[in-house]
Every structure is written in structure tokens, then in C-alpha cells.
Amino acid sequence: MKKFILFILILTISGCHTKQIIDYKELMKDNEYVIIDVRTLEEYNESHIVGAINIPYDQIDNNVDLDKEKIILVYCKSGNRSGIAAKMLTNLDYKVYDLGAFAKIDLPKEI
């Protein structure tokens, strides 16, 4: 019982949450999406998903001008910045999905 209580306490303190798993290829089938690379321009220039635009996560604010009718897909190097960007864009009333880490995304990439 003590181990169970300790486990619950650790989960609570660590802020454990589950990440929604999405089928991004299904979302992309109608061509009504925009892919945003929220890494730095330098990271984007090294390699990025084909067709992605670069808007670093720390430049997302009320002045971002995207089509609210389209699905927004965001990614970064590890998933941390894309999570922040997804929350910011969601708060701006965009329909956003976080693709997470660049290396794990199975889409064509430009090098």
C-alpha cells in the first residue's frame, strides 16, 4: 500500500499527463493544413519537413496570421517547444495538433 501511495504521489508531483496520439497523415489527406516548424531559423535551415514554414515558438503571438480554417501542425526538435506553441496557437483559436519531435515524424524532409 505504501508503494502505491508513493507512486501516486510521484505522478502528481511530476505533473504526469498523457499526450494525445494523432494520425497526422489522416489529418493531412484533404490538404487543409499548415505545417509549422517552431524551431529556430538555423535549425529549420539545416533540415525541415517539406512544405513546412518556420515560425519560432517564441515569435508566436496575437500578430500571427494563419488561416483559421486550416489545421495547424507544429513540431520542434524534442516536442517541448511544439507543445508550448500548440498551447499558444490553441489560445488564439486555431485548430492545432502537436507532431512532437522532428526526428520521429514520418514525412519527407528537406536537408
108 is written with which cell numbers? 519527407
Active site residues: 76
- No. of H helices and E strands in the chain? 4, 6
Pairing of strands 109-110, 48-49: antiparallel
Separation between Cα atoms, residue 74 and residue 26, nearest integer Å = 15
Backbone torsion region of residue 24, taken as left when φ is above 0, otherwise alpha when ψ lies between -120 and 50, otherwise beta: alpha
Q: Which residues pair with 71 in a beta bridge?
A: 33, 95
